[in-house]
Amino acid sequence: MAPDLGRVGASPPDEALDALANVIEAARTPGKRFVLGIAGSPGSGKTTLARALAERIGSRDPGSAVHVPMDGFHLANTTLDRLGIRDRKGAIDTFDGWGFVALLERIRAESGHTVYAPGFDRSVEEGIAGEIAIEPGTSIVIVEGNYLLVDRDPWSRVRDRLDASWFCATPETEREERLVDRHTRHGRTVEAATAWARNVDGANAVLIEASRVRANLIVSGITGEPVVSE
């Protein structure tokens, strides 16, 4: 059975990670920082893939790769409450897109000192400022998130600030199952989790899935392998 990238503790097989790491190595310019973006819908497995890939690359060359989630740019819950959009948290307008673009510019331009990026604590659904350190010796930065390839300002500026863009593709039924599992683990009832997965995550996925045509490579969210054709 193929490994499930969305379950707790699961990760892509070593062979798939090695193959993807080789793709990066072949594409990057020695001595220059390489920024990879992995986009995908909620529940696609993009975060697990990005984290596992950074760890795999780091096992070859310690300190060389870091994973940076777009989720660190969620607007704070208090801000979402003030704007009256907390019930749509995860939609494209509930993120600080301009802040994310600015971080990408810093990652590309500032290699002589540490650049700090926000992380995300899913247990409280809030960003954590300065949690992730991108050190001067970090040669590969893997950013991931839902809207990296959406052709809408400011997100349309993201792709030009990446050296490569991938899309993590997973069937809708599998994504929904993973999301229900995730939401229930974080306190929602099965009914509430299913409603959120369909009405919020599902609605966002329509926009996200349409952006896959802008990716350089499609990667399976089931096996972690490149998808030649679909």
CATH of the structural domain 15-220, one choice from 4.10.490.10, 3.40.50.300, 2.40.40.20, 3.20.20.10: 3.40.50.300
Q: Could you tell me the CA-to-CA distances from 49 to 5, 18, 20, 82, 141 in Å, in that order?
A: 7, 12, 10, 34, 13
pLDDT tens digits, one per residue of 151-204: 999 999 999 999 999 999 999 999 999 989 888 987 889 999 898 889 888 999
* Mean pLDDT (whole number) for 77-98: 96
Q: How far is CA 78 from the centre of its chain?
A: 23
What whole-number distance in Å separates Cα of residue 206 and Cα of residue 160? 23
pLDDT tier for residue 6 given thresholds of 50, 70 and 90: very low
From edge to edge, which strands make up the β-sheet containing 164-169? 65-69, 140-145, 34-39, 164-169, 217-220
Q: Where are the domains of the chain?
A: 15-220
Residue 35, CB half-sphere, CA atoms under 13 Å: how many? 22
pLDDT tens digits, one per residue of 195-226: 888 988 899 999 999 999 999 999 999 999 98
Whether the per-residue pLDDT at 18 is higher than 50: the answer is: yes
DSSP 73: G
Tell me which residue of 28, 40, 49 sits closest to 149, measured CA to CA: 40
89: left (phi over 0), alpha (psi -120 to 50) or beta: beta
